[in-house]
Amino acid sequence: MLGLMQDWPLLCTKLIDHAAIIHPDREIVSRSVEGPIHRTTYREARLRALKLAQRLEREGIRSGDRVATMAWNTWRHFECWYGIVGAAAIYHTLNPRLFPEQIAWIMNDAEDRILFTDLTFLPLVEAIAPKVPSLGKVIVLTDAAHMPATTLPDVVAYEDWLAEADGDFAWKVVDENTAAGMCYTSGTTGMPKGVVYSHRSNVLHSMIAQQPDAMGLSSRDRVLPIVPLFHANGWGMAFTCPMAGSGIVMPGAKMDGASVYEMLTRERVTVSAAVPTVWLMLLQHLETTGDALPDLRKVIIGGSACPRVVIQKFQDDYGVQVIHAWGMTETSPLGSLCSIKADCQDLEGEALLDLQEKQGFPPFGVEMKITDDADRALPWDGKTFGRLKVRGPAIAKAYYKGQGAEFFDADGWFDTGDIAHIDPQGYMQITDRAKDVIKSGGEWISSIELENLAVGHPGVAEAAVIGLKHPKWDERPLLVVVPKPGQTLCKEDVLGFLEGKIVKWWMPDDVAFVEEIPHTATGKIRKTALREQFRDYVLPTASDTNG
């Protein structure tokens, strides 16, 4: 027997409709790429998104077509998302920080037909466009007055192009499982893989995010999404803010400490979200200027593990609550958030920070487990670590064109590629990437934990740990170290520093000193390159069968 409740599909366009009707005058304030601060409202943004959808249709865009954006967070980029999904097309965010060849490969894989881009990226687009045969028009997110000369054959200023539509358009109504967005994982190994969000997953993800223990945005909040829309579905904030009726403050191209501080203050921002690097820059800026953060009540920090000092400074020095979070492009992206449960409310000082260094527990809508290599579930004891697998309505079940099938279990779990432990209260902490964990005698050693400890040595600028083949233990850790300028370090120095901080069998078998550690375009350590570099390296213990 079926229920008798309304068939009301979960469509992204319902979000901007809600905001425009119930919170019509709530502002979207942006630092424009051209320079000045720009102000608009949900009512106006919806009208322009309607024009955009209408205009895209006239451009020949049809249901399921991929429309790319390579743009900063501004009101125009926000309008693009809604206009694209409103035309039943698919927004495909491109990360301009990838190598040009990677971007071209991704655009060809997705067969993007139109590209919206900012002035900033025009030279990059000029280089890429000839390599992408599917690409037609390039629409530059500016007005005619700011339109530069360009070698692109089919190009137009956004404001001119949009002005040709009157907005007399009705959103395309589609099944809620229809594709709405695409984002490729940058991936430290292999080719990028496309994640395809549906209308349903985006709406449910926002509802998941709206729970008070997750992001929990209210209509009274003014939210600064520093995390770019092109990073992991923009953490869903282009959908969650309209759902909440929150004001939005868009940082444009400027994410340095002074610029972020300026937007936080002049627009009285109450909630913000970004990766740790951005917050480190802000905190450094504040320490220099001595400024405070009177309006900011909460920051959501994810993308990589948040340093303890960032949490501590925000809370102790500025009275700002930190929500440490974990997620991936494949999880829309919210996977877990470290809010404080009732049992932990009395924690303070170091004990509180110990908890907040964890990436937190999954909200309703995300299921988690940790497993060993045989896919057996491991206990939630806060110590045992295993492969982190997740399940939920806003989590990928496959990559575009069937790539990476090995990450998806037959029973519907997605293997995150992360290694984590979970405590009895459900608080999860990432300890490593699966491909970087060192498998020594059937037990796992976390490369990240060793790296984090090693960089605590006053003479170490950067550290990386990789597993090298070992005749007896299968793999053993090699610690690769970049000494700080002018410092002379020896193996015994560094290993001595680790002693007592780790169990004995975690101790690296050797230390290699290098001038530089290879990085990806997004700043992560390229362990594949490092493993290649040390492929023929022989550990001192490797010939010693008692090692």
141 binds its own copies (CB under 8 A): no
23 binds its own copies (CB under 8 A): yes
Residue 410 Cβ vs its own copies, minimum distance, rounded to whole Å: 13
210 binds its own copies (CB under 8 A): yes
Nearer to its own copies, 235 or 399 (CB): 399
- Of the candidates 75, 235, 413, 444, the residue annotated as catalytic is 444
Instruction: Tell me which residues in 246-285 interact with its own copies (CB under 8 A).
Output: 247
Interacting residue with its own copies among 67, 98, 183, 207 (CB under 8 A): 207
Distance CA 70, CA 229 (A): 9
Instruction: Tell me which residues in 449-478 interact with its own copies (CB under 8 A).
Output: none
Residue 330 annotated to the active site: yes
What 3-state class would DSSP assign to 444? strand
Instruction: Tell me which residues in 49-108 interact with its own copies (CB under 8 A).
Output: 63-64, 90
User: Beta 414-422 vs 428-433: how paired, if at all?
Assistant: antiparallel
What 3-state class would DSSP assign to 110? helix
Instruction: Tell me which residues in 505-534 interact with its own copies (CB under 8 A).
Output: none
Residue 181 Cβ vs its own copies, minimum distance, rounded to whole Å: 8
Residue 27 Cβ vs its own copies, minimum distance, rounded to whole Å: 10
Interacting residue with its own copies among 74, 201, 233, 447 (CB under 8 A): 201
Instruction: Tell me which residues in 369-398 interact with its own copies (CB under 8 A).
Output: 391-398
Going from the C-alpha of 183 to that of each of 84, 121, 126, 195, the distances in angstroms are: 14, 18, 22, 5
Residues binding its own copies: what is the number (CB under 8 A)?
Answer: 75
Distance CA 156, CA 162 (A): 10
Interacting residue with its own copies among 25, 317, 381, 443 (CB under 8 A): 25
Closest C-alpha among 283, 269, 274, 182 to residue 228: 274
- Tokens 């290599």 — which residue? 373
Token duo for residue 307: 């340093």
User: Beta 66-70 vs 114-117: how paired, if at all?
Assistant: parallel
Residue 188 annotated to the active site: no
**Residue type for position 174:** V
Nearer to its own copies, 133 or 424 (CB): 424
Residue 444 annotated to the active site: yes
Contacts of 410 (CB under 8 A, 6+ apart): none
Closest C-alpha among 77, 38, 520 to residue 304: 520
Instruction: Tell me which residues in 295-334 interact with its own copies (CB under 8 A).
Output: 332
Counting Cα atoms < 13 Å in the Cβ hemisphere of 191 gives 16
Distance CA 310, CA 382 (A): 23
439 binds its own copies (CB under 8 A): no
Going from the C-alpha of 38 to that of each of 27, 170, 268, 272, the distances in angstroms are: 10, 27, 16, 19
Interacting residue with its own copies among 8, 149, 492, 546 (CB under 8 A): 8
Interacting residue with its own copies among 138, 195, 355, 480 (CB under 8 A): 195
Interacting residue with its own copies among 96, 192, 236, 245 (CB under 8 A): 245
Closest C-alpha among 440, 457, 400 to residue 547: 440
- Of the candidates 69, 142, 185, 431, the residue annotated as catalytic is 185
- Tokens 């249709």 — which residue? 57
Residue 426 Cβ vs its own copies, minimum distance, rounded to whole Å: 4
Q: Which stretch binds its own copies (CB under 8 A): 73-81, 295-303, 336-344, 465-473?
A: 336-344
Distance CA 522, CA 525 (A): 9
Interacting residue with its own copies among 40, 339, 431, 440 (CB under 8 A): 339
Closest C-alpha among 522, 432, 438 to residue 473: 438
- Tokens 């450094």 — which residue? 284
Nearer to its own copies, 174 or 301 (CB): 174
Token duo for residue 360: 């937190």
Interacting residue with its own copies among 226, 238, 244, 481 (CB under 8 A): 244
Distance CA 361, CA 353 (A): 15
Interacting residue with its own copies among 341, 439, 491, 531 (CB under 8 A): 341
Q: Which stretch binds its own copies (CB under 8 A): 2-10, 290-298, 349-357, 447-455?
A: 2-10
- Pair 49, 82: CB distance under 8 Å: yes
Beta-ladder partners of 477? 467
- Of the candidates 131, 172, 254, 439, the residue annotated as catalytic is 439
133 binds its own copies (CB under 8 A): no
Instruction: Tell me which residues in 399-438 interact with its own copies (CB under 8 A).
Output: 399-400, 412, 414, 424, 426
The sign of the CA dihedral 308, 313, 319, 324 is: negative
Distance CA 64, CA 110 (A): 11
Interacting residue with its own copies among 80, 104, 139, 179 (CB under 8 A): 179
Nearer to its own copies, 96 or 362 (CB): 362
Interacting residue with its own copies among 144, 166, 170, 177 (CB under 8 A): 177
- List active site positions: 185, 330, 439, 444
